[in-house]
């Protein structure tokens, strides 16, 4: 459920925040996030972090534009978690123009008017995508955070200007957070304050899968054993590996939960024992996992997966499910090295790894090691550490502005 708020037109550009704006205690700043992801897409890192932020302050989540007939406007709604989602609605001719500047100018106007109408004076800018600099570099924030959760330049369809905008964001940012160890190692030499925040978990949420759950209707009729995956299905999935596993063991049922994006659905392997169930709400995932015998992460080894740190790794483990994954660096280290996840790349090795996990006899001992490893890993703890860094950056910026 969401709550509509008055919309903002693009007709008036607010003035930049004045240096005469009233002083605000460090704890009272708002947060404005610029994201390439939709709030209602897969519930992942941004949603986990910003819903926690919204418990303490106003959070505005500015999405990429959506095509709509009529004059430009900004749709505002408030989620049950308190996030104020702002969606630019722009005419098709503006977004289809080979010259991107008119669309950027309109988005800049909508951002400025959002600040004015919502009396946003002291605020932190949180960038999930560097491309938003095109319409926000004029702003005067209390601090700038770049949450580098992925190497977006390696993804299918990445804008040509992305690398240049990231260089600019590194110059402007006060803090850089990375979504995993591999990204941290790639970025730490590019900024004075880079901090590694790998995937966290809501252990109690996924722990529900350890107890008996009502099997969802679209999964209930499937035979066993079931191998499950949830998440986005895109160029990062090794479709050939998926097909090979299905062909090698026709009695195994492979359950793929998640939206198909950026790739043609016709390219997905179609087998009687591969089941594509589509996108499911975050709240329903434990019920699906509870009906699996094992979780798989059949990621391709390509540029798009070189720096990923899959959030689903600790989530599968918190659900009590054995995991077989390809050799993604942030899965191998630490989960593979700790013996918590089986690593295999070739189809034969992947099938053999699944068979070993399905036949594991020391499940209780393995699960005890999983729980010990995951103890203390939570989104609450991650956000607490991030918030402390942001607060310190805000104080530092204010002291610099005074001197």
Asked, colleague to colleague, whether 2-200+379-402 and 203-374 share their fold, the answer is yes
Give the model confidence (pLDDT) of 1-48 as tens digits. Answer: 456 665 555 443 333 333 333 444 556 899 999 999 999 999 999 999
The residue ranking higher by pLDDT, 157 or 372, is 372
pLDDT of the residue at 12: 36
Fold classification of 203-374 is Rossmann fold (3.40.50)
In whole numbers, what is the pLDDT of the chain averaged over residues? Answer: 92
Q: What's the whole-model pTM score?
A: 0.90
The Cα–Cα gap between 322 and 318 comes to 10
Q: Is the pLDDT of residue 109 over 50?
A: yes
pLDDT of the residue at 59: 98
Residues contacting 99, CB < 8 A, separation 6+: none
Question: Nearest 5°: CA angle at 79, between 76 and 85?
Answer: 35
Give the model confidence (pLDDT) of 328-353 as tens digits. Answer: 999 999 999 999 999 999 999 999 99
pLDDT of the residue at 333: 96
Share of the chain above pLDDT 90, in %: 84
Q: If phi over 0 gives left and psi between -120 and 50 gives alpha, with beta otherwise, what is residue 288?
A: alpha
Selection from 213, 225, 310, 232 nearest residue 278 by Cα? 232
Selection from 167, 354, 339 nearest residue 254 by Cα? 354
CATH superfamily, with its number, for domain 2-200+379-402: Glycogen Phosphorylase B; (3.40.50.2000)
Tell me the domain boundaries of the chain: 2-200+379-402, 203-374
The residue ranking higher by pLDDT, 13 or 322, is 322
Give the model confidence (pLDDT) of 171-220 as tens digits. Answer: 999 999 999 999 999 999 999 999 999 989 999 999 999 999 999 999 99
């Amino acid at each position: 459920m969401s709550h509509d708020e008055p919309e903002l037109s693009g007709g008036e550009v607010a003035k930049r925040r004045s240096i005469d704006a009233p002083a605000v205690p460090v704890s009272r700043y708002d947060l404005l996030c610029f994201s390439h992801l939709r709030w209602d897409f897969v519930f992942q890192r941004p949603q986990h972090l910003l819903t926690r932020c919204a418990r303490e302050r106003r959070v505005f989540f500015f999405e990429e534009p959506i095509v709509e007939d009529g004059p430009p406007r900004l749709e505002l709604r408030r989620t049950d978690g308190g996030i104020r989602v702002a969606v630019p609605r722009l005419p098709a001719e503006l977004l289809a123009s080979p010259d991107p500047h008119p669309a950027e100018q309109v988005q800049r106007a909508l951002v400025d008017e959002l600040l004015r109408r919502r009396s946003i004076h002291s605020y932190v800018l949180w960038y999930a995508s560097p491309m938003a600099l095109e319409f926000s570099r004029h702003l005067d924030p209390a601090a700038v955070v770049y949450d580098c959760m992925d190497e977006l330049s390696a993804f299918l369809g990445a804008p040509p200007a992305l690398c240049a905008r990231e260089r600019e964001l590194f110059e402007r940012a006060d803090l850089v957070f990375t979504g995993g160890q591999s990204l941290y190692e790639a970025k730490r030499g590019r900024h004075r304050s880079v901090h590694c925040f790998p995937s966290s978990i809501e252990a109690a949420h996924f722990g529900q899968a350890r107890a008996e759950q009502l099997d969802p209707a679209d999964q209930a009729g499937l035979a066993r054993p079931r191998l499950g995956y949830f998440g986005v299905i895109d160029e990062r999935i090794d479709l050939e590996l998926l097909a090979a596993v299905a062909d090698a063991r026709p009695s195994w049922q492979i359950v793929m939960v998640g939206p198909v994006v950026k790739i043609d659905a016709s390219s997905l392997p179609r087998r009687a024992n591969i089941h594509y169930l589509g996108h499911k709400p975050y709240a329903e995932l434990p019920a699906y996992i509870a009906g699996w015998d094992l979780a798989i992460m059949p990621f391709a080894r390509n540029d798009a997966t070189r720096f990923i740190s899959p959030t689903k790794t600790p989530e599968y483990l918190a659900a009590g499910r054995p995991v077989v994954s390809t050799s993604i660096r942030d899965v191998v280290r630490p989960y593979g090295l700790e013996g918590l996840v089986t690593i295999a790349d070739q189809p034969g090795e992947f099938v053999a790894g699944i068979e070993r996990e399905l036949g594991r006899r020391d499940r209780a001992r393995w699960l005890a090691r999983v729980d010990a490893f995951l103890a203390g890993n939570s989104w609450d703890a991650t956000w607490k550490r991030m918030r402390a860094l942001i607060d310190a950056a805000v104080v530092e910026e204010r002291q610099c502005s005074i001197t």
